Amino acid sequence: MISVAPFINHLLAREDWALQQLLPHAGKVACIDTQMLQIRLRIAVDGYLEAVAPDALADVTIRIQASDVPLILQNRERAFSYVKIEGDADLANTLSRLSEHLRWDAEADLSRVIGDIPAVHLVAGSKALIANVQQAHQRLQHNLAEYLTEEKPVLVRPQLTRQLNQQVQQTRDDVERLMKRIERLERLRS
């Protein structure tokens, strides 16, 4: 099993403020439970993280629904609004702050391996690719919705549904008025 501790420690090594935030929690264990996978990490005396046994008692458990992982990855600032927290609230708040502000500087890491200019181009190209994929996804959603509402009407636009509901209400009211008139006419006739 590969530990995420080295990756997180790599991020922490660049941010002294983050290590300082973790120091008061030295010795505590955090468990991240995604239903499919549990990650348990202990905060060492120097503020870095270390992997612990899967059965180590956790001071805080952060439960994440597997279906919420894409939402969390899209919007890291709201990540903790998608989770359930059990245990040490202070440690959970510290982890929340770290998850919001720690960022991987891919360009800096890549520049050590492939050089500055290729790293800049690779990161820029990756960002452009991600943006293009997101735009294509949005266009696909729009086109699919248009197809299903206009060309092959499987879905109904909310506006049409409201109009139909108003027409049904109007027809029901008209039928009730007509029934009352008929009743009045029958009473007059008798």
Q: 102 and 18 in contact (C-beta within 8 Å)?
A: yes
Give the model confidence (pLDDT) of 76-127 as tens digits.
666 666 778 888 888 888 888 887 777 777 777 778 888 888 888 888 888 8
Are 123 and 183 within one domain? no
- Percentage of the chain modeled with pLDDT above 70: 93
State the DSSP code for 4.
Answer: S
Q: Which domain holds residue 189?
A: 157-190
Check which CATH number belongs to the domain holding 38 and give it.
3.30.1050.10
pLDDT bucket at 2, cuts 50 / 70 / 90: low
Are 123 and 173 within one domain? no
Give the model confidence (pLDDT) of 163-182 as tens digits.
989 999 999 999 999 999 99
Q: For the chain, how many structural domains are there in total?
A: 3
- What span, in angstroms and rounded, lies between the C-alpha atoms of 102 and 27? 21
| Whether the predicted pLDDT of 44 surpasses 80 | yes
